[in-house]
Each structure stands twice: as C-alpha cells, then as structure tokens.
Amino acid sequence: METGLLIESFKEFASQKSIDRPTMVRILEDVFRTMIRKKYLSDENFDVIVNIDKGDLEILHYREVVEDDAPDYDENKQIRLSDARKIDEDFSVGEEVAENIKIEDFGRRVVQTARQTLIQKIKDLEKDNLFNKYKVLVGQIVTCEVYQVLGREVILRDAQGNELVLPRSEQIMKDRFRKGDSVRAIVHRVEMVNGNPRIILSRTSPIFLERLFEQEVPEVYDGIITIRKTVREPGERAKVAVESYDDRIDPVGACVGMKGSRIHSIVRELCNENIDVINYTDNIELFIQRALSPAKISSIKIDEEHSRAAVFLKRDQVSLAIGKGGQNIKLAGKLVGLEIDVFRELTEADEEEEDVELTEFADVLDEWVIEEFTKIGLDTARSVLGMSRDYLIKKTELEEETVDFVLDVLRKEFE
C-alpha cells in the first residue's frame, strides 16, 4: 500500500510538464534521503536510484563485512561475516555488501510523511517556476482570460491556468470586464506573498502604451523609431514623444499610419484614449510648443534653474493649451520635464479694456487668497477670469469652494 502511494506521487510529479527530468530526480532523491536519515541517522552509505519512466525506486544500503567479534561494531556501516554469508556464502571480511532496502521497512508513518513532502515540494517548485517565468516578463504584454470580476480586482488566467491579478488601480476607468473576456495588459510586477507568487498586471502604465506601439508600428519594434517618453491620463489622454534614426522616415507619420490606421487600434485598446504623437527635439522651447499642441504659443520664458516655463498665448489659445480639466498642460509638463505656467498675452484691446487689480477686492477676499493668484502671475480680475476653473484649482493651493467663491465675486464686478 505504501509503495503504491509513492508510485502515485511519482506519476503526479512526472505529470508536471514544467519540471525537467534532472530536477525531478534530484527532488525525489532528496525526499528519500530524508527518510533514510530519519531511520539510520545518516545517508552516507546509501544509494537512491529513481526510475521515473517506470515509477519505481531502489534503495541500496552498503556495509563493510567484518568479523563477528569485531570491536566497536556499527550496524549501519558494518555487517558481521555470519550475517553477510546469509545473503551470499561467498562473502569474506573486507568486502562490501549492497543490501536492497524495501520502502515498507521505513514504516507507514515515515512513508506517509515522505509522500506529503513530495507533494509539497511539487507545489513549491511550481510556485518558483511561475515566479521566475513572470519575473522575466515584467514590462511585457500578456493576453489572459477573465476568470472572476471582484470589487477591487479582476482575476485572470493565462493559457496554462495560472492566476494573475489586475487591480482596480491598474485598470482604465472605462474598462468593463466580464467572465471569459480576453484582456491584454503588461506584467507590472511580480512578488511573493506568504510564499505564493502574485503576478500583478497593468493597463494604466505608460509602458503598456509603448508596448502597443511596438506591436502596431514595425519601425518602433525594429528600433528605427524610438519612443523617448510617454505620459498618460489613462483612458483620457496621452502624449508620446518619438524620434527617428532614419532621416527618410517621419516618426509621427509612421506611428499614426495612413489615415490613422496604426494608431486607431491602439486607441480602441485603450478605451478611446486620445493620443498625441509628438516629434522629439533637444530644443526645449520647440519641444514645449509641440507638447502644448494644438495651442499656438506666442512666446516662452524658461527660468534659470530650467524647472519652470512661462508660456504666453493669445486669449483664444489659452483654453487649448490648458485642455479639458487641465489635461493638456499637465501632460505637456510631464513630457518636457518642466512646470508650465500659462499666461494670457495682452493685446492693445485688452489693455484698453476695463480691468481691476485683485488688491481692490481686499475687503471681500482674504490677503492670503489674493497671494495664491499673484504667485502664478494672475494679479487682475480679468486675468483670473481668463483661466479655467480646473486650471486655477490645480495651480493654486486653494480649495474648490474657495476658487468658486473668488470667480463668483470677480464675475459680479463686470456684470
């Protein structure tokens, strides 16, 4: 019965396709040597021969033949001449006897423990293999099937049935999954949690967008076009700076494709995310102009530390530069690596138009509130009203309610 249990374990072990033969033999030998040490205290003079194909094993116990009255007799390493000749009459002192040890001799409890150890080692090896498999795939796209949709995460399975996790924080806001759906994402990170590998995927990472470009644009995959930087507001908007190493190839045109054929598939994958492909340049002012597209910039001033850029635009271009919810200017700043401040360029007509200094509202607005606006170059009522609400909330350290109150006060001044 015990032998049958171990043979069953052999078959279970051999069925693990991801485990190579040498590894199988090594682990099985380790388990049986552990059994030997428990009974004989040492495994030095034992051989374990495992036959995976047949699902059996042979344990040989080697002992030296000594005289019957030999001093300091050690039955684990020595065998008396009289006992050796019971095995074979031709044995003589000094020769070595190889005795076959049956599994049943170890006792039922030890055999059961060995079987459980085998099963546990199989599981541990599977976990290590899974961890190592996905560790090298970090940053690469994988395609999985939705297995279960939970509140905080989606559980997916790969082709081998391994479970992967797509947390809510790594999903695009517009993502909607149902069981059985096919999902593409990148392997974001792989970690061990209580001895179990946890493979976390992401669809919001900028790297996911870069890998999609590699799949859809052959020039990017071949390295003719390189992606210098990618920034995203997942599901809403993204900016990708590209550069070509071949002067004959337009990197932006190649990435977009004829009539947008290449980029459309990427946009659909990302739930209609608006993607701006920008030609990279080392000229920081030109790069800022391209990053703030479609707005047309009148002039740019960059501070000495090269950490902030003041961008001046005509009145009708300000909203284009800022974008919906401040997305355009926010992403442009991340792309060029500078904090961008937008200022409306005053025309003669603007200068002649009635305006009021913010300090004139000191009786209604607190001094620290006025200072928050002057810090970002807005010192008159019309300059504040010329900016979007979202932009003012982002650029100042004021609460939304405070910004709304200020805008209401300033609008009433010109009603």
What tens digit of pLDDT does each residue of 258-279 get? 988 999 999 999 999 999 999 9
Is it the case that residue 349 has pLDDT exceeding 60? no
**Lookup: tokens for 264:** 């459309």
Q: What angle do CA 99, 104, 106 make, to 5 degrees?
A: 80
Q: What angle do CA 305, 307, 308 make, to 5 degrees?
A: 110
Domain boundary assignment for the chain: 2-128, 137-204, 354-414
pLDDT at 17: 52
Highest mean pLDDT among 91-95, 156-160, 184-188, 341-345: 184-188
pLDDT at 276: 95
Element (H or E) spanning 120, and its range?
Answer: helix 108-135
Q: Are 168 and 153 in contact (CB under 8 A)?
A: yes
What's the mean pLDDT in 186-195? 93
Residues 6+ apart with CB under 8 A from 396: 372, 373, 375, 376, 403
CATH 1.10.150 is the classification of domain 354-414: yes
Neighbours of 364 (CB within 10 A): 13
Q: pLDDT category, 179, cuts 50, 70, 90? A: very high
CATH topology of domain 2-128: N Utilization Substance Protein A; Chain:P; domain 4 (3.30.1480)
Q: Which CATH code, of 2.40.50.140, 3.40.50.300, 3.30.70.1060, 1.10.3720.10, is assigned to 137-204?
A: 2.40.50.140
Q: pLDDT category, 53, cuts 50, 70, 90? A: low
What tens digit of pLDDT does each residue of 384-393 get? 888 888 888 8
Average predicted confidence (pLDDT) for the chain: 86
Neighbours of 215 (CB within 10 A): 15
Whole-number CA gyration radius for the chain = 37
Q: What angle do CA 304, 306, 308 make, to 5 degrees?
A: 100
